[in-house]
Amino acid sequence: MTALLVPTRPLDPPVPAAATDLTLRRGAARVLLGNWTGASTVPSRTLYPHQWSWDSAFIAIGLRHLSPRRAQRELETLLGAQWEDGRVPHIVFNPAVPLSAYFPSPDFWRSSHAGATAGAPAGIETSGIVQPPVHALAAWLVHEADPAESVRRGFLARMYPRLTAWHRYLTSARNLGGAGLAAVVHPWEPGMDNSPCWDGPLSRITPADPASFRRADLDHGHADDRPTDVDYGRYVQLAADYRDAGYADGGHTFAVEDPCVNALLIVSEYALARIAQAAGADPLVHERRAQRLTAALVSRLWDAEAGLFLCRDLVSGRLVQERSVAGLVPLIVPGLPEDIVRTLLDTLDGPHFRADDTGLVASYALSGHAFDRTRYWRGPAWFNTAWLIGRGLRLYGAADRAERLRAAFLSAARTSGFAEYVDPFTGEGRGTRDFAWTAALTLDLLATPHLETVR
């Protein structure tokens, strides 16, 4: 006879979902309050002790559920460091933080001097590169959280000219391919720093001398999770070359059209149309630009055989044959052809990403030759890309898939301690913990399970 296994104590009753959500909401709020500096929010108190551009946009989207006023301040602080040519720098440095706490630090970028011709602010030190343009979308969602307070403070009226200048920079100075799409000129710009998509274009770059810099990221992150020393040396050399050229655009040795960056630009153009209307300007300018950008995105970056959008290397002129999550993010773009939407949905759950099995979406194809489940952007799943793809799924009527993704997101955020990113198979937290955009987007998914769509 088989012995029965009897528990030594009664099993704990299941925790009601409402109680779990409340605990998760309180935890996420704790992270954002703890990372607040008085004017903005740091992504991490250890690894990222300054203000980052697209982080602040995602953070503002979550902060609006705690304090619309603070969410407005987040974006105002970031755009207060905007350059005269319209670019929004990817880092705004806190002068109270020691130079040794982060590299490249202000004394490397030298923005107030090296960027003077491009209109870098004289009294604020920033980096000289940019990040994906999520800001108009964030500004519109923040406005909607408390329209009366937004109008009283003139929030959109002040944001509109800055956001317009930002998009103008991307569609003019960064239109390096000549077809209207914005190009990135450094792997840090698309935000997916260490993606295998950059391996080919980066191979043209001779790495900086390792003795010329010290990697502060390894003080707080495990080397197995972070970019290799060789890749990091290439990042440093590219940034130094851009700086030494006065941050002028043109003649770049690294220039890529990225589908995620341009999808976010399109969605933010639609958001800017709403902002324009609220601010008494013409929304049609932005709607038409969004439509032109959509056509260019499809004609230049869609690859039916790969089953998703690919990056285009503007130096070689060829598509980069690497499947990354960046190629799925265009699901957020309204008006995509039906066959493209169907293919993207098939790719999401197909053998390359297997989102129906893994829950969250890997940052690089599980089938890819460079897949690494722990190394930064070469396989781990990230929360911001899951949030974006979830919006796209709802936009195109795949509510069941969106809800599955939302549930996986909230579960991973809870069990990982609001990790920077997670193992795509196990959900184990990787990178730093108490990561601000993970907490912020957790708040947003808890507050708005049926995400609104700007179009």
Distance from the first to the final alpha carbon of the chain? 66
Give me the catalytic one of 76, 258, 420, 444.
420
Q: Which of 84, 144, 193, 403 is catalytic?
A: 193
| DSSP string for residues in 333-383 | STT--HHHHHHHHHHHHSTTT-HHHHSS-BSB-TTSTT--SSSTTSS-EEH
Q: Quick one: which H or E segment has residue 305?
A: none
287 is catalytic: no
d(CA 176, CA 183): 6
d(CA 51, CA 69): 18
Six token digits for residue 159: 């944001």
Known catalytic residue at 349:
no
**408-419 burial: b if 16+ Cβ within 10 Å, else e:** bbbebbbebebb
Question: Tokens for 434?
Answer: 């108490």
Side chain identity, residue 289: R
- Element of type H or E holding 402: helix 399-416
Please give the structure tokens belonging to residue 130: 């940019």
Range 140-143, long-range pairs (CB < 8 A, 24+ positions)? 140/271, 140/274, 140/275, 140/454, 141/60, 141/61, 141/64, 141/452, 141/454, 142/60, 142/61, 142/63, 142/64, 142/68, 142/71, 142/72, 142/75, 143/275, 143/278
- Provide the annotated active-site residues: 193, 420
